Chains A and B, each alone.
Chain A
Amino acid sequence: MGVEQKLGNMGIATTTLEQAVAWSRTNAMWPMLFGLACCAIEMMSAQAAHYDMSRFGMELMRPSPRQSDLMIVAGRVSRKMAPVLRRLYDQMPEPKWVISMGDCASCGGVFNNYAIVQGVDEVVPVDVYVAGCPPRPEALIHGVLTLYEKVRGMKFAEIKK
């Protein structure tokens, strides 16, 4: 119901600024490498030619937190690693999102012991949990697309300062 209906087919589309920003965010989301265990292999596989996550604008895995807006925590987080993870999360610019990939990152998995953080949500706020041990690349891509839906529906007011 925009101006394009009045003007006919002139190659113009109208939208809201919020939607345009959300669209651009989801189509160039750069994840930060945070491979900690075997889930990282599946994450690499999701990036590689066969599954090709670059179809969704994610061809770049940034090793630097300053250049990334998505953290994929792939693998078990040890108690000694937790402060490092939190520090890297704090170094990422806003807006930022976290995917907890696999059972170990989500809830500790089979490692219910003193050395492993029982779910990375104790350290950073998690947006999407991907189940599996390890999850297949399809599952990770599904998690990413679920996050896209969430980001597309976000209002400016909801996004943290």
Chain B
Amino acid sequence: MEKNLQPILGMLKKEFGGTASEYRGDVSLVIPSGKIVAACQQVQAQGFELLSALTAVDYWPEESPRFHVIYQFTSVAMNLVLTLRVPVPGINPSLPTISHLYRNANWRERELWDMFGIIFKGHPDLRRILMPADWEGHPLRKDYPLGYEEPQFTFNFEEINLRKPYAKE
């Protein structure tokens, strides 16, 4: 672990609880969802001026709660990287927004809503960002159907061809 990161991590742990882990020099801290805004405020105050990644992982069906939302902060001045992880349950998943702290979180949170269906409360403009506006479902969830069309082989080519939607005009 970077020497400069230790006091910041210790302070965050004391204030917000949570468990820290390190993998190949990357430090991540698991924080309960209720404290994430305060934690982000504190992280920003410590000099992490950049939210370099805001993404999520779906651990369904192995883990419960199934989602982990991952906030990755970078401090350009101190050359440090810090990751916060927030477990979010699968039923009505929601988190408070941090788009008032880091402005780029606006689009990132829209992407998370689009792809995982995690609602960010207090977000100014929570619409789909990647998929068409009338899309149903959230494609990066593990229980979302993977394929869209059955592959055609020689033995079932005709059968599948019959029910393919071809454009007439």
25 contacts between A and B (CB under 8 A): A79-B132, A79-B135, A107-B152, A108-B149, A112-B147, A112-B148, A112-B149, A113-B146, A113-B147, A113-B148, A114-B139, A114-B145, A114-B148, A115-B139, A116-B148, A121-B166, A121-B167, A122-B164, A122-B165, A122-B166, A122-B167, A123-B167, A124-B167, A125-B166, A125-B167
A80 in contact with B167 given A112-B147, A114-B144 (CB within 8 Å): no
Instruction: Judge if B168 is at the interface, Cβ distance under 8 Å.
Output: yes
> Are A80 and B132 in contact, CB atoms less than 8 angstroms apart?
yes
Who on chain B is nearest to A80 by CB?
Answer: B132
Expressed in whole angstroms, the Cα–Cα distance for A122 and B130 within the complex equals 21
Q: Is A26 an interface residue (CB 8 A)?
A: no
Instruction: Give the docked Cα–Cα distance between A123 and B166 (Å).
Output: 7
Tell me the A73-103 residues at the B interface (CB within 8 Å).
Answer: 79-80
Closest-by-CB residue of B relative to A122 is B165
Q: Is B169 part of the contact surface with A, judged by Cβ < 8 Å? A: yes
Determine the distance from Cα of A7 to Cα of B98 in the docked complex, in whole angstroms.
88
| Other contacts beyond A116-B148, A125-B166: 15, CB < 8 A | A79-B131, A79-B135, A80-B131, A107-B152, A112-B147, A112-B148, A112-B149, A113-B147, A114-B145, A115-B139, A118-B148, A118-B149, A122-B164, A122-B166, A160-B169
Complex CA gap A55/B102 in Å reads: 56
Q: In the bound complex, how far is the Cα of B133 from the Cα of A79, in angstroms? A: 11
Chain A residue nearest to B146 (CB atoms) is: A113
Interface residues of A in 98-140 (CB under 8 A from B): 107-108, 112-116, 118-119, 121-125
Beta-carbon contacts under 8 Å, B34-62 to A? none
Residues of A contacting B130 with CB < 8 Å? 80
Please tell me if B124 contacts chain A, counting CB pairs below 8 Å.
no
The 8 closest A-B pairs by CB, nearest first: A118-B149, A80-B132, A112-B147, A122-B165, A125-B167, A114-B139, A121-B166, A114-B148
A95 to chain B, nearest CB (A): 13
